[in-house]
Amino acid sequence: MAAFPRQNPFYTKLAMVLISLIALFYIAVLGKTILVPLTFGLLFSVMLLPLANFFERRLHFPRSLAALMSVLILVLSLAGLLYLVGQQITTLADDWPQFREQVSTSVADLQRWISAKLHIRIKQQMTYVNNATSKLLETGSSVIGDVVVSFSSVLLTLVFILIDTFFLLYYRRLIIRFLVAVFKEENSVIVYDVLAQIQSRIRQYILGLLLEMAIVSVATCLALWILGVKYAILLGLITGLFNVIPYIGIFTATLLSVLVTFATAGATKLLLVIGTILGIHLIDSNVLLPVVVGSKVRINAFITVLGVIVGESVWGIPGTFLAIPIIAIAKIVFDRIEPLKPWGYLFGDEVDEKEPPPLKEEIKQQGHDLTNSPEKKGAE
């Protein structure tokens, strides 16, 4: 009598999944200092891989020099972007006296409006502001200390990212051999397919995202310049950079733009600025994103928002940037491992699925058979 393989009950499988998820999130939170630079290094190394191959194969550079040159080009690109943003911030600092005067005028106008519409006297408003200011000053030293610590932590993380990028480029062949050995030789075809898909999908996604960021920045700069908003270039760059964060970034950029516009032009242009930025965001989400970035990731909107929220709760601001690539990598792996395919369906966008699940095809076939049944023909 043949023995059937024992199947675990549903509650056992559910307990295993929950324990695995808890363990993964616990490791992610505990290993944030190591995993965040390593994940950024993985994304940058995938993006720089064609450049490293060009230096190594066409120019016959040693592998170490090819990896180093690729990382240096990345550093120069980031430095150029920071220099451009820094120049605009310097312009804002040069105009600080006028900026402060305009803020005072705008605040006075706002106080008069609140007094007229909400019947809150200016003296009461100033009492509220003074109380809030005194509380802020009491915690000012700790806030400054936290800012200094955060800045030094960002610099240290950036150094680790560059080091991880270099070593991932240098030891890429060793890492591939390790993965093939871990998942057995008979599964090497699947391993190579997964690695190729991850490399292609992530690179196309990052390059498309950079192109989309450039288009949004230029469009915002031109629109705000036409409206006569001061610091249009700075606000356009901020909008383009923050647009990388799905859904949350555009609202943060809108808030910053509103604050700067209110301080420099008063409340007259606020609605125009809000409408312009949100209009550009709508065009970007419905036209630019599908055309430029395309269906490179193929993750549904619900999983995208949930991933950004979970990423921020686990890794903070870096988690909002890394959530989408990590989910995209997970979906590629899930789609090629039979027991994990349901998770791939959950992450995917059913509108973009070219091949429906087998059950869907069977239902269609059953419906076709029913509509062409002899009983129906006889009734007709």
∠ CA 15-18-19 to the nearest 5 degrees? 85
* pLDDT for the residue numbered 141: 46
Is 103 inside a domain boundary?
A: yes
* pLDDT for the residue numbered 144: 43
**Among 23, 11, 28, which Cα is nearest to 326's?**
28
- C-alpha to C-alpha distances, 137 to 65, 133, 151, 195, 302, nearest whole angstrom: 51, 6, 21, 53, 41
Is 1 inside a domain boundary?
A: no
User: What would the pLDDT profile of 94-145 be if each residue is shown by its tens digit?
Assistant: 666 666 666 667 667 777 777 777 767 766 767 776 665 555 545 544 444 4
Structural domain harbouring 69: 29-107+139-173
Residue with the two structure tokens 């065009």: 283
Q: Which residues contact 147 (CB under 8 A, 6 or more apart)?
A: none
Separation CA 182–CA 180 (nearest Å): 6
Is 80 inside a domain boundary?
A: yes
Question: What sections of the chain are H helices per DSSP?
Answer: 10-30, 32-53, 63-94, 96-117, 122-138, 140-170, 172-182, 188-226, 232-242, 248-265, 270-283, 301-315, 317-335, 341-347, 358-371, 374-379
Tokens of 274: 């809000």
Percent of the chain with pLDDT over 90: 9
- Whether the pLDDT of residue 310 is over 70: the answer is yes
Tokens of 203: 């690179």
* pLDDT for the residue numbered 373: 43
- Whether the pLDDT of residue 191 is over 50: the answer is yes
Is 336 inside a domain boundary?
A: no
Is 83 inside a domain boundary?
A: yes
**What's the pLDDT band for 186 if we cut at 50, 70, 90?**
confident
End-to-end alpha carbon distance in the chain: 52
Is 73 inside a domain boundary?
A: yes
Tokens of 202: 């992530």
Is 322 inside a domain boundary?
A: no
Is 180 inside a domain boundary?
A: no
Residue with the two structure tokens 């070219």: 354
* pLDDT for the residue numbered 143: 43
Residue with the two structure tokens 């230029």: 218
Separation CA 209–CA 17 (nearest Å): 33
- Dihedral angle of Cα 341, 347, 348, 350, to the nearest 10 degrees: 100
Q: How confident is the model over 33-57, as a mean pLDDT?
A: 90
Separation CA 48–CA 165 (nearest Å): 9
Establish how many alpha carbons lie within 13 A of residue 79's alpha carbon, considering only the half-sphere containing its beta carbon.
6
Domain total of the chain: 1
Separation CA 254–CA 245 (nearest Å): 13
* pLDDT for the residue numbered 193: 84
User: What would the pLDDT profile of 146-165 be if each residue is shown by its tens digit?
Assistant: 444 455 677 888 889 999 99
Separation CA 299–CA 105 (nearest Å): 47
Let me know: does 286 contact 3? Beta carbons within 8 Å: no
Separation CA 318–CA 302 (nearest Å): 20
For the ranges 183-192, 300-309, 371-380, the lowest mean pLDDT is seen at 371-380
Separation CA 58–CA 72 (nearest Å): 18
* pLDDT for the residue numbered 225: 86
Let me know: does 345 contact 357? Beta carbons within 8 Å: yes
- C-alpha to C-alpha distances, 134 to 62, 99, 131, 143, 349, nearest whole angstrom: 60, 23, 5, 14, 51
* pLDDT for the residue numbered 296: 57
User: What would the pLDDT profile of 76-89 be if each residue is shown by its tens digit?
Assistant: 988 888 887 777 77
Amino acid at position 324, single letter: I
- Whether the pLDDT of residue 380 is over 50: the answer is no
User: What would the pLDDT profile of 319-358 be if each residue is shown by its tens digit?
Assistant: 888 888 888 888 888 888 777 788 888 887 765 444 444 4
Amino acid at position 141, single letter: S
Tokens of 153: 């932590």
Amino acid at position 266, single letter: G
Predicted model pTM = 0.69
**Among 71, 66, 43, which Cα is nearest to 54's?**
66
Residue with the two structure tokens 């190729």: 196
